[in-house]
Amino acid sequence: MPESGSSRLPTRVELGVWRSFLRAHARITRVLEAELIAEQRLSLAAYDVLVQLAETPSMRMRMTELADAVLLSRSGVTRLVDRLERAGLVGRERADGDGRGIVAVLTPLGAERLRSASATHLAGVAEHFGESFGPGELEAFGRTCDRLAADDVFP
């Protein structure tokens, strides 16, 4: 990997594939969000927050960890959790042993809403993403994405 600040510029092929990747991500994300909003009245970001909480053993996460997990700013997560809390899908509690820390907690209503929204979202992922790949392509794409997402690639 080149050092950060390297003067190497992308080749035409690299730049073309990069732009194609960005367009594909934007299109699929827009379609999945539109389906969630139309069928479940839930944004993709809200769905992601509910998923992140549901995937923890305690159904709770510190707000800072949640912000990192959903790739939103801390203020963005705070505003989103505010809305989810008003809807009864998420609660807030003080972190154990830390009077300053706040954790977001998935409520039973939030878990129920997530189950319902998952049917819509997962069907969309299968249709708009999974069905786009031929035999062997999905696994190769997954390996490439894993490599790009690895912490040791961009320290």
Task: Inform me whether the pLDDT recorded for 40 exceeds 90.
Answer: yes
pTM (2 decimals)?
0.86
The C-alpha atoms of residue 74 and residue 47 are separated, in whole angstroms, by 17
Contact of 61 with 53, CB cutoff 8 Å: yes
pLDDT band at 33 (very low <50, low <70, confident <90, very high): very high
Contact of 92 with 100, CB cutoff 8 Å: no
Contact of 34 with 91, CB cutoff 8 Å: no
Residue identified by tokens 């959790």 is 81
Task: Inform me whether the pLDDT recorded for 83 exceeds 60.
Answer: yes
Task: Inform me whether the pLDDT recorded for 1 exceeds 70.
Answer: no
Structure tokens at 84: 């989810």
- Tell me what pLDDT residue 72 has: 81
The C-alpha atoms of residue 141 and residue 138 are separated, in whole angstroms, by 5
Contact of 110 with 90, CB cutoff 8 Å: yes
CA atoms within 13 A on the CB side of 129: 20
The C-alpha atoms of residue 64 and residue 124 are separated, in whole angstroms, by 29
Task: Inform me whether the pLDDT recorded for 42 exceeds 70.
Answer: yes
Average pLDDT, the chain: 92
Helices and strands (DSSP H and E) totals, the chain: 6, 3
Indicate the Cα dihedral angle 130, 135, 141, 143, nearest 10°.
120
pLDDT band at 97 (very low <50, low <70, confident <90, very high): confident
Q: What is the mean pLDDT of residues 17-33?
A: 96
Provide, rounded to the nearest whole percent, the portion of the chain with pLDDT above 70.
92
Indicate the Cα dihedral angle 118, 124, 125, 129, nearest 10°.
180
Task: Inform me whether the pLDDT recorded for 4 exceeds 70.
Answer: no
